[in-house]
């Protein structure tokens, strides 16, 4: 309960009291937003004091983040050489991001403590409403601190999971906005023509979600094209990425671990402090 009281805006988001009217009202509103836009924003989820603690923690850990960069497609796959060069399946765009995996986040980290709260898992499960949820079983991918600096960006892409939960910790001086085109594709239609227009720079249907520290975002990214715009300035952009699964204990691939974190074997025990890594 200490972590809840210290970091979360419980009057507005009573995740500790699932029987309360306010809990049900928040869940219902988030469900409506998800259904209409493919995302639900919960501003002020973390208190001002909580954000300050998360920022201090992220800044301390940032130097340990592994940087990955390159060029990729919107489908997180190798470009298709059988289609035209300007086809979305063949279009490659730059990406660069640094990440700290779950196994390297210290037990003292408030971000780790928030992620490991059963009440938060239950709250997310109530909103996404896909049955029981479990913390993602992968020791690397369950929780990430994503660190982005000058020139870093994430290309337009679709996620390979049904939803992603992010917690905004610190914004960059400029850029680093989360841009999304809701419901760009369906199970039956990839809408390649529309996607090609977006990749070519068409902004007509792009929604910009500004990076506001303390906001919890639940996002259904499998069918909504999205990106993080290029970072400008010296201040780092910090976001916590909280992963959940409907299957307990599922693991990510060794190839993904190597690309994203620079290693494949998890630490035997998480560090107690950032300095103990």
What confidence tier does 133 reach under pLDDT thresholds 50, 70, 90? very high
Confidence of residue 9 (pLDDT cuts 50, 70, 90): very high
Contact 267, 103 (CB under 8 A): yes
Express as a percent the part of the chain with pLDDT over 70. 99
Structural domain boundaries enclosing 68: 2-263+271-276
pLDDT of residue 56: 98
Encode pLDDT of 205-223 as tens digits.
999 998 999 999 999 988 9
Q: Is the pLDDT of residue 2 over 90?
A: no
pLDDT at 1: 47
CA distance 219 to 242: 11
Number of domains in the chain: 1
CATH number where 38 lies: 2.60.120.620
Point out which residues pair with 66 in neighbouring strands. Answer: 99
The answer to whether the CB of 115 falls within 8 A of the CB of 103 is no
Structure confidence at residue 276 (pLDDT): 60
Rounded to the nearest integer, the mean pLDDT of the chain is: 94
Rounded to two decimals, the pTM is: 0.93
Q: Are 58 and 111 contacting, i.e. CB atoms less than 8 angstroms apart?
A: yes
How far is 270 from 265, CA to CA, in rounded Å? 13
Residue 253 has pLDDT above 70, yes or no: yes
Output b/e per residue, 7-22; b: 16+ Cβ within 10 A: bbbeeebbbbeeeeee
CA distance 97 to 67: 6
CA nearest to 52, candidates 120, 111, 140: 111
Instruction: Quick: pLDDT tens for 190-205.
Output: 999 999 999 999 999 9
Q: What is the pLDDT of residues 49-106, one digit of tens each?
A: 999 999 999 999 999 999 999 999 999 889 999 999 999 999 999 999 999 999 999 9
If you ran DSSP here, which 8-state letter would residue 231 be given?
P
Instruction: From 105, 70, 75, select the one nearest 88 (Cα to Cα).
Output: 75
- Do 50 and 8 contact (CB within 8 A), yes or no? yes
């Amino acid at each position: 309960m200490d972590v809840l009281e210290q970091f979360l805006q419980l009057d507005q988001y009573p995740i500790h009291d699932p029987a309360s009217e306010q809990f049900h009202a928040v869940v219902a509103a988030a469900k409506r937003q998800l259904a209409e836009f493919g995302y639900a924003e919960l501003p002020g989820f973390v208190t001002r004091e909580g954000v300050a603690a998360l920022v201090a923690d992220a800044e301390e850990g940032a130097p340990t983040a592994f940087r990955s960069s390159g060029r990729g497609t919107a489908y997180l796959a190798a470009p298709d050489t059988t289609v035209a060069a300007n086809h979305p399946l063949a279009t490659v765009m730059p990406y660069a991001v640094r990440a700290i995996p779950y196994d390297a986040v210290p037990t003292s980290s408030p971000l780790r403590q928030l992620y490991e709260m059963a009440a938060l898992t239950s709250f997310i499960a109530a909103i996404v409403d896909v049955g029981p949820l479990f913390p993602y079983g992968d020791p690397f991918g369950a929780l990430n601190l994503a660190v982005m600096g000058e020139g870093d960006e994430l290309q337009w892409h679709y996620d390979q999971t049904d939803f992603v939960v992010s917690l905004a910790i610190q914004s960059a001086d400029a850029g680093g906005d989360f841009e999304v085109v809701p419901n760009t594709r369906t199970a039956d239609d990839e809408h390649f023509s529309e996607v090609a227009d977006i990749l070519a720079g068409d902004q007509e249907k792009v929604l910009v979600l500004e990076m506001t520290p303390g906001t919890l975002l639940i996002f259904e990214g499998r069918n909504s094209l999205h990106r993080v715009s290029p970072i400008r300035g010296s201040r780092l952009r910090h976001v916590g990425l909280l992963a959940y699964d409907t299957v307990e204990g599922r693991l990510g691939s060794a190839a993904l671990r190597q690309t994203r974190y620079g290693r494949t074997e998890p630490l035997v025990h998480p560090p107690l402090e950032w300095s103990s890594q």
